[in-house]
Amino acid sequence: MLSQRLYHTPGPKRILALDGGGIRGALTLGFLEKMETILRERYQKPDFRICDYFDLIVGTSTGGIIAASLAIGMSAGEIRDMYLKLGGEIFGKKRSPWLRGETLRLMLSANYDHRPLEAALAETFGDMTMGDQERFKTGVAIMAKRIDTFSTWTINNFKEFKYYKYNKDILVRDWLRATSAAPTFFPAKEIKVKGKTTGVFIDGGVSLANNPALQGLLLATLNGYSLRWPLASDKLMLISVGTGGSRKFMTHEKLAKFRSISWASEIADIFMEDANYFNQTILQLLSDTPGMAPIDNALGNLEEDQAFGKRLTYRRYNVDMTPEALQQIVGRPFAESEAADLRKMDQAKNRFTLAEIGKQAAAQQIQADHLPLNFDV
């Protein structure tokens, strides 16, 4: 029973956190398939699923869709196949701003038709609600930004959470549309909250939770969220998976040509980059896991810092989307233009390449002992 697993089962707890990133979610699935393979071999169960291992799966945007799919018992391979099949439909042809009457509407709305995404979510989740205690096999929490109140919402299936009674009837497909409503990609999603008020929601990536790992830790441990799992390196493990990233650089010449609309297209990436490194800094300060990536040139990887003590077993898997790093992963040269195109979140044509990059990166980064035996089910 889900409530028993979340609240009353003793022993170590395991959290999986999945970043936002649009079509780059195809890359994430390579890491998840590798983890699932390790666990199937360990338990000698060919049908073992991610939901059988992790007690809580949190996600934002495309990571939220993957999180909910995993939490209902889909395998990583099944979700990969779904992404490869539907990616071209969801991020289909961009609407042309040159059609009559379209320019102003697009500036205020979205570049893509949201209906294929909604149809895909309806096919997978039907009329399932966020409070479904039967179909969800494990804990799940998904972030979105309520833009009319400028607040970040995390809807979960924790039965003892004080807002569960208000949020439990929200349709999964509606909440996933909300967390995926990236500005300029898809229009905002209106959802009735508390049965009467209409909230307007956009992508949870427009917050500190595009990388939801730190939020997952807070959900698991803070009194207000009701789980109250112990914070100790031998009792709590957090695995965080990204969708690829790279520090950006711009020439003075390019910046000199920037206008207001240019900054509007860049500001989300700038904020998401800072949010990601803030999350990384806090989690690496709390963890005792060696081999973490450097935060920056001054801080290094924080392995020797003891500001808060080592309270967490933590791993972060991601791909640096630079030509040099991609060549090391895949074994062929990448031009900067190709790497820059792969970094875009709405290029459906890249989904097969991204899936292969994720598969190869996972083979290089993930080892069986990264899922320590003392955390076994």
Residue positions annotated with a catalytic role? 61, 203
Distance CA 240, CA 17 (A): 5
Distance CA 362, CA 72 (A): 23
Q: Is 225 helix (H, G, I), strand (E, B) or coil?
A: helix
What Å distances lie between residue 271 and 9, 134, 188, 221, 300, CA to CA?
38, 37, 19, 26, 22
Distance CA 174, CA 191 (A): 7
> For residue 69, which amino acid is it?
S
The vertex-205 CA angle with 269 and 90, nearest 5°, equals 95
Q: Is 79 helix (H, G, I), strand (E, B) or coil?
A: helix
DSSP string, 262-279: HHHHHHHHHHHHHHHHHH
Distance CA 75, CA 68 (A): 11
Residue 208 · residue 273 · CB < 8 Å = no
